[in-house]
Amino acid sequence: MYAIIETGGKQYRVSEGDVLTIEKLEISEGETVEFDRVLTVVKEGELLLGKPVLADAKVTAKVLAHGKGKKILVFKYKAKSNYRRRQGHRQPFTKVVIEKIYA
C-alpha cells in the first residue's frame, strides 16, 4: 500500500516505514504530524483518486530530526564589467518517518 501526499509544494510517494526529507515544518522532534492533503492511495490493487484530494484519507508521520541541506552556491556574473557576487544557501529540512496510511 502506498499514497501520494503533498507538503511544502511538492508531492511524495510514501509507504509505511519510509523516511522522507521534506521542507521544514515547525514541529519539534519526536512529535507526530498528520498530512491531510492525500492525492492518491493504492491498496491491494485498488486505486483511490482524489479530485484533487481524498476527503477521508490521511497519513501520519513522526518527526525524526531537523537540519540543513548541502550548500549550494549562487554566483552572479556580468561579462566585461567586473561584476561578481557569490552567495551560499543551505535549505532547512525536516526528516520524518511514515507511520500509518489511513484510507
Separation of CA 68 from chain center: 14
For residue 62, give the C-alpha cell.
513522526
50-103: per-residue pLDDT in tens? 999 999 999 999 999 999 999 999 999 999 999 999 999 999 999 999 999 998
Predicted TM-score (pTM) of this structure: 0.85
**Does a cis peptide bond (omega within 30 degrees of 0) precede residue 92?**
no
16-31: per-residue pLDDT in tens? 999 999 999 999 999 9
- The DSSP string of 46-77 is EEEE-SSS-SS-EEEEEEEEEEE---EEEEEE
Show me where the domains of the chain are located: 2-102
